């Protein structure tokens, strides 16, 4: 690396001697410094935002119902799981408001599930753009997660309406104001997952298949559809469940929306630590592979 730095400096000195300004030139195939990388991402924030909005607006443009699918998909998901687990398997016995329990779990987990299943494909999906343009590759996971967050806003509105109109008819309380804070932590967690899996998926394309399985495992192991306390015996196994940030995320959603209480600091701290820690790790991990993303995979 020192030799390459001296070479770049020598080239810039030679250009200055010829009356040229080399200040805008940067070496090719060299990973930028972390601060420079973040600055480059910030300069492209408007493009990232517009790309995410455009994709949300056009993703269902060929369908007859168009953007109405942003509303229908979460409704159909909730209905399917309700029929399977309440009507057929009857796991709701002894629960006061299983419809609300299930609606919150299924609809809010959908966003994290997409990060798990689609994160490994972000770089492969953007291959043509990577080949054609020079830009921070982290723009691709960020744009995808912004797009997903915009779609999730529709899901949140549907969830709140369903909580009010479906028996037991939850009533809005002041704790509902904490919803944006939980949502922000979930988006942070999703972005950390996306950064991490995007690089792993670039190296090992089969990661996408493994994450589809892992997403289903997390659904059943995080209390998304049924209360784990009814089926888990033993403190050791429950301790392992409580290390899972998704378990705490969904629990916080349910407590502020159904119970009208402020969740304990333990749940907030565990979710915050996972979200911020995974985002930091994922971003640095992704940045470390920056120079490899434009090369053909062997």
What are the per-10-residue average pLDDT scores of the chain (298 residues)? 58 66 60 90 91 76 60 78 71 77 90 92 87 88 92 89 86 95 97 96 90 87 82 73 92 95 95 97 95 66
Query: CA-CA distance, 139 to 129, in Å (whole number)?
Result: 11
- Give the phi and the psi of residue 112 in degrees, each rounded to 5: -70, -35
- Look at residue 67 in the predicted model and tell me its pLDDT: 62
Name the one residue in this structure whose structure tokens are 């369908």. 63
- Look at residue 83 in the predicted model and tell me its pLDDT: 78
Taking CB atoms within 8 Å and a gap of at least 24, the contacts of 129-134 are 130/293, 130/294, 131/294
- Look at residue 298 in the predicted model and tell me its pLDDT: 38
- Look at residue 132 in the predicted model and tell me its pLDDT: 78
Burial 68-81 (b: 16+ CB within 10 A, else e): ebbeebbeebbeeb
143 CB-side CA count, 13 A: 24
- Look at residue 19 in the predicted model and tell me its pLDDT: 65
Query: CA-CA distance, 21 to 144, in Å (whole number)?
Result: 37
Taking CB atoms within 8 Å and a gap of at least 24, the contacts of 206-210 are 207/120, 208/117, 208/118, 208/120, 208/121
- Look at residue 297 in the predicted model and tell me its pLDDT: 43
- Look at residue 1 in the predicted model and tell me its pLDDT: 46
Contact by Cβ (8 Å): 215, 113: yes
**What Cα–Cα distance (Å) separates residue 223 from each residue in 75, 108, 172, 220, 238?**
19, 12, 23, 6, 11
pTM of the full structure: 0.84
CA 280 to chain centre: 14
């Amino acid at each position: 690396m020192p030799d390459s730095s001296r070479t770049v400096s020598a080239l810039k000195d030679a250009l200055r001697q010829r009356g040229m300004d080399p200040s805008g030139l940067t070496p090719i195939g060299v990973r930028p410094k972390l601060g420079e990388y973040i600055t480059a991402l910030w300069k492209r924030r408007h493009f990232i935002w517009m790309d995410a909005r455009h994709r949300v607006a056009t993703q269902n443009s060929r369908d007859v119902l168009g953007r109405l699918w942003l509303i229908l998909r979460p409704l159909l998901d909730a209905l399917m799981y309700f029929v399977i687990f309440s009507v057929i398997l009857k796991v709701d016995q002894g629960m006061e408001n299983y419809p609300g329990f299930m609606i919150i779990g299924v609809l809010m987990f959908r966003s994290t599930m997409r990060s798990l299943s689609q994160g490994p494909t972000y770089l492969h999906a953007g291959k043509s753009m990577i080949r054609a343009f020079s830009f921070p590759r982290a723009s691709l996971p960020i744009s995808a997660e912004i797009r997903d967050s915009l779609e999730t806003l529709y899901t949140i509105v549907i969830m709140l309406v369903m909580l009010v109109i479906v028996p037991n008819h939850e009533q809005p309380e002041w704790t509902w104001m904490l919803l944006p804070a939980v949502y922000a932590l979930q988006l942070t967690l999703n972005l950390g997952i996306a950064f991490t899996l995007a690089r792993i998926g670039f190296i090992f394309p089969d990661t996408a298949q493994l994450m589809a399985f892992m997403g289903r495992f997390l659904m059943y192991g995080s209390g998304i559809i049924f209360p784990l306390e009814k089926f888990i015996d033993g403190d050791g196994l429950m301790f392992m469940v409580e290390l899972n940030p998704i378990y705490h995320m969904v629990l916080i959603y349910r407590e502020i929306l159904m119970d009208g209480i402020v969740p304990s600091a333990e749940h907030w701290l565990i979710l915050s630590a996972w979200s911020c820690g995974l985002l930091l790790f994922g971003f640095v991990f992704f940045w470390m592979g920056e120079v490899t993303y434009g090369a053909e995979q062997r």
